[in-house]
Amino acid sequence: MTNNMFFIANWKMFGDLRAINSTKKVIKFSKNKKFARAQIVYCPPYTLIEQFNKITKNSKIKVGAQDCHFLESHGPFTGSVNANLLKIIGAKYVIVGHSENRARGDTNYLINLKIKSALNKNLKVIFCIGETLKEKKKNKTNLIINTQISRGLKNIKKNKNVIFAYEPVWSIGTGIIPKISDLEKQVSLIKKMINKIWKYKNPQILYGGSVNSKNVRQLKKIRSINGYLIGGASQNANNFIDIIKKTII
């Protein structure tokens, strides 16, 4: 395995200055040449982005946000942060379409606007797709994912700044991961779906959902996966480092 691997930490609505301090271990670790293939991205809450940028300044770790507003221009949207504001604060990545935000009202249409505005601001987009348990049980996985991809990418030309994250919703925060053979098939199908729209054979696809230091050796058998979007396990520096070590070595 020689390609770069992404390790995207989604801190969700967690994190304080003490937690930031503990990531100094990860920063030190990231400078070890043995793990140069690891592309680490921290996506903390908005409130910690600036602090994260400061402490990661002399490392190759990048910082991103967990969402953005769909409008590019500024406006009277109390509590919202758009891609332009993220750019100003120094974010390089943004997660869009996370199932926790889809559940709170993000439609495929809004997600499409968010992706467009983030790309216009030169942010790299981590575009989350994935089916719920109910959809899976009804055998609707492929239909749902195909719709999420085609609507999410509507009127967007092939763009290498979009990284896809397949996150089956039933796997997020549950400790359950898909069967390795099923996941491998699903990733290959997703690649075909993207190729159909963008004529792009090798899009970067991450897996997300309960990745931890115990299951990552299994997951890494799937060579077509370009890394992981990691929630819970990324909040502990030792666990996060362990996942990276076990993937790369």
Q: Which is nearer to ligand PEP, 84 or 213 (CB)?
A: 213
Question: Which residue type sits at 144?
Answer: I
Q: Which of 94, 208, 216, 237 binds ligand PEP (CB under 6 A)?
A: 208
| Shortest reach from residue 173's CB to ligand PEP, in Å | 4
Residue bearing tokens 């799937």 = 222
When the beta carbons of 56 and 212 are compared against ligand PEP, the nearer one is: 212
Provide the angle, in degrees to the nearest 10, between the axes of the packed helices 141-152 and 108-120.
Answer: 40
Whether 91 contacts 63, CB under 8 Å: yes
- 210: contact with ligand PEP by CB under 6 A: yes
Q: Does 94 bind ligand PEP (CB under 6 A)?
A: no
Interface segment toward ligand PEP; rule CB under 6 A; list 28-36, 51-59, 166-174, 237-245: 166-174
Nearest approach, Cβ of residue 78 and ligand PEP (Å) = 25
Residues annotated as catalytic (active site), given as ranges: 98, 167
Least separation, in Å, of the C-beta of 210 and ligand PEP? 4
Span interacting with ligand PEP, options 29-37, 147-155, 167-175, 176-184, rule CB under 6 A: 167-175
| Among 75-83, 153-161, 165-173, 218-226, the segment contacting ligand PEP (CB under 6 A) | 165-173
173 contacts ligand PEP (rule: CB under 6 A): yes
Residue nearest to ligand PEP (CB): 231
Q: How far is the CB of 144 from ligand PEP (least distance, A)?
A: 17
Helices (H), the chain: 17-22, 24-30, 49-55, 83-89, 99-102, 108-120, 133-137, 141-152, 180-198, 216-219, 237-248
List CB contacts of 9: < 8 A, sequence separation 6 or more: 40, 41, 42, 43, 44, 230, 234, 235, 240
* Four-residue CA torsion sign, 222, 172, 105, 124: negative
Which amino acid, residue 22? S
Task: Work out which of 27, 211, 225, 243 binds ligand PEP, going by CB under 6 A.
Answer: 211
| C-alpha of 23 from chain center | 19
Whether 249 and 217 have beta carbons less than 8 Å apart is answered as no
| Positions in the binding site for ligand PEP (CB under 6 A) | 10, 12, 167, 172-173, 208-211, 229-233
